[in-house]
Amino acid sequence: MKIHYDLVPQQTKYIETKHRKICTPIPHPTTIEVIKDLRLYETGSMHDQLPILWDSAKDYQIFDGCGNCFIDLTSTIFVANIGHSHPKVIEAIEQSCKKNLVNNYYYPSYERRDFVKKLLEITPPHLDKCILYTTGSETTEASFKIMRQNGKKINDEKIVIISFDGSFHGKTTGSQQLGGKPAGKEWIVNHDKDIYHLPFPTKWYLEDSGLKADELFLRDIKKLQDNGLNLANVAGIIMEPYQGWGALFYPQEYIDAMTKWAKENQVLITIDEVQAGFGRTGKLFGFEHYGMQPDIVCMGKAISSSLPLSAIIGRAEIINIDPSMNSTHGGNPVACSASLASLNVLIDEDLVEQSFQKGKILEKELLKWQSEFPDIISYVSSKGLVAAVFFVKKGTEEFDIELVDELIYKAMLKGVNSVRTLSGTIKIGSPLSIPIDALVEAIEVYKECLVEILEEKNV
Ligand SMILES: Cc1ncc(COP(=O)(O)O)c(C=O)c1O
């Protein structure tokens, strides 16, 4: 059960290190008024984050404006890959605003031209066209439409899209149906009957099957056929490089079998890089780990490290198909300037390589932690600067959502801000620019908090 974070200021111990500072009760009493107002005016769906007021954020730190400073392990939610408020991004935003162009629909602009040119320069050469949007969900919706439209060109019934159980592709009606989380989908009622889900090949599922990963793919796709799906009608597959809640990657052999099957059956593959893209996994894009060539790539979040912008890119003959695919704020000039600056920083500061190198240290630290608490830390998954630590109730396989909620709350009181997955995992996604000693310090805080919680519970 998830914990409700109330707004009573908690007493804290004074902490001051190079990376964090806690000098008042948390949340600070003066910030509570703001949080209360938000709770008054907004729906509950906006209020389950840790009650830290974000007054400013710089690089890997968040400040509440009352003297407290937190190490950020979230990048808000995988957005600020190059660090919060990078001076080059701020400058680009200011420049755009100063010249008096803050929106221009999809009329031509220098800002959009410069950005899309750069975007296509840094992405694989076989992907040669893009469409800009504002949110990640719009890009997965767009890829859904494009995969179907292409399928229909081959055969009127080739409209089926395959996705994966447990996946996440957004919260709009289409993207939510593509996603593989049944909870919260009841409201849709008229589900698209031509979206199918394959089981995600977790290590546990693979072990239980007794098959090799490539055999598992072929078996599961055949199961869909045995249940009545005409495989000739599959138009596309959509997948994330890793499943967000648990940083779970696919086995290579599974991807090899899937891409081979897709090629043989004229099935397009969309990679949803909205979360994984722009260095998060230690490569520029997550799909590079698999040596595959997707037909369509969805991008968002860290594309700008700041303002809302998203994009799909793909092969021209596939995505240059529907003249209606544009939107009011897609390619906003200020967001394009910020995104161009962000891409340049990502490359100039070698942040992808930094993500890879720091990731190795992070993984080592987390595996050490797991070895100290094997009864409750059941698994660690990590690549680059995304990682997940799985907590279970002792002696069971049941995820301990409550323990993780307590742990991240306690860590907040000691100056560490965490992603709240509500899935029994601690998920780590700091800005790629975080100094390694700050990252290790934050993990030490988690360790300290776990010991304290276990002592309090007398376990
Ligand atoms: C993999 C993935 N796809 C799509 C989305 C949806 O993006 P947005 O919230 O910008 O619509 C997210 C957001 O968390 C995501 O992680």
CB of 242 closer than 6 angstroms to any ligand 1 atom: no
* % of the chain at pLDDT higher than 90: 97
In angstroms, the CA 165 to CA 143 distance is: 18
Span 19-48, mean pLDDT?
Answer: 95
What pLDDT score does 395 carry? 87
Neighbours of 273 (CB within 10 A): 30
Strands 386-391 and 425-428, by their bridges, are antiparallel
CB of 240 closer than 6 angstroms to any ligand 1 atom: yes
Task: Report how far ligand 1's centroid is from the alpha carbon of 81 (Å).
Answer: 15
What are the CA-CA distances from residue 397 to residues 57, 170, 408 (Å)? 37, 28, 21
Residue in the structure block whose two tokens are 């059941």: 378
Which is the closest atom of ligand 1 to the Cα of 140? Answer: 4
Q: Is this model's pTM higher than 0.95 or not?
A: yes
CB of 136 closer than 6 angstroms to any ligand 1 atom: yes
How many angstroms separate the most distant Cα atoms in the chain? Answer: 67
CB of 272 closer than 6 angstroms to any ligand 1 atom: yes
CB of 270 closer than 6 angstroms to any ligand 1 atom: no
C-alpha radius of gyration, the chain, whole number: 22
Task: Report how far ligand 1's centroid is from the alpha carbon of 275 (Å).
Answer: 7
Task: Report how far ligand 1's centroid is from the alpha carbon of 28 (Å).
Answer: 31
In angstroms, the CA 92 to CA 412 distance is: 32
The H or E element spanning position 238 is strand 234-239
Strands 268-272 and 248-249, by their bridges, are unpaired
Taking CA atoms only, the protein residue closest to ligand 1 atom 7 is 136
Site to substitute for ligand 1 among 78, 169, 296, 339, most atoms within 8 A of C-beta: 169
What pLDDT score does 115 carry? 98
Question: What are 320-354's pLDDT values in tens digits?
Answer: 999 999 999 999 999 999 999 999 999 999 999 99
Site to substitute for ligand 1 among 240, 245, 274, 303, most atoms within 8 A of C-beta: 274
Task: Report residue 17's pLDDT band, with 50, 70 and 90 as the boundaries.
Answer: very high
What pLDDT score does 412 carry? 98
Which is the closest atom of ligand 1 to the Cα of 240? Answer: 1
Question: What are 128-167's pLDDT values in tens digits?
Answer: 999 999 999 999 999 999 999 999 999 999 999 999 999 9
CB of 424 closer than 6 angstroms to any ligand 1 atom: no
Which is the closest atom of ligand 1 to the Cα of 276? Answer: 1
Taking CA atoms only, the protein residue closest to ligand 1 atom 13 is 170
- What's the whole-number average pLDDT of the chain? 97
Task: Report how far ligand 1's centroid is from the alpha carbon of 373 (Å).
Answer: 32
Convert 426-437 to b/e letters by CB count within 10 Å (16 or more is b). Answer: bbbbbbbbbeee
Task: Report how far ligand 1's centroid is from the alpha carbon of 437 (Å).
Answer: 30
Which is the closest atom of ligand 1 to the Cα of 134? Answer: 10
Task: Report how far ligand 1's centroid is from the alpha carbon of 77 (Å).
Answer: 9
Taking CA atoms only, the protein residue closest to ligand 1 atom 5 is 170
Pick the closest to residue 236 from 149, 176, 302 (CA basis). Answer: 149
Task: Report how far ligand 1's centroid is from the alpha carbon of 239 (Å).
Answer: 12
CB of 170 closer than 6 angstroms to any ligand 1 atom: yes
Task: Report how far ligand 1's centroid is from the alpha carbon of 48 (Å).
Answer: 18
Task: Report how far ligand 1's centroid is from the alpha carbon of 161 (Å).
Answer: 18
Which is the closest atom of ligand 1 to the Cα of 308? Answer: 10
CB of 168 closer than 6 angstroms to any ligand 1 atom: yes
pLDDT at 387 over 80: yes
Question: What are 434-445's pLDDT values in tens digits?
Answer: 999 999 999 999
Pick the closest to residue 111 from 120, 121, 101 (CA basis). Answer: 101
What pLDDT score does 89 carry? 98
CB of 134 closer than 6 angstroms to any ligand 1 atom: no
pLDDT at 106 over 80: yes
Ranges 5-9, 150-154, 251-255, 435-439: which has the least confidence: 5-9
Question: What are 58-105's pLDDT values in tens digits?
Answer: 999 999 999 999 999 999 999 999 999 999 999 999 999 999 999 999
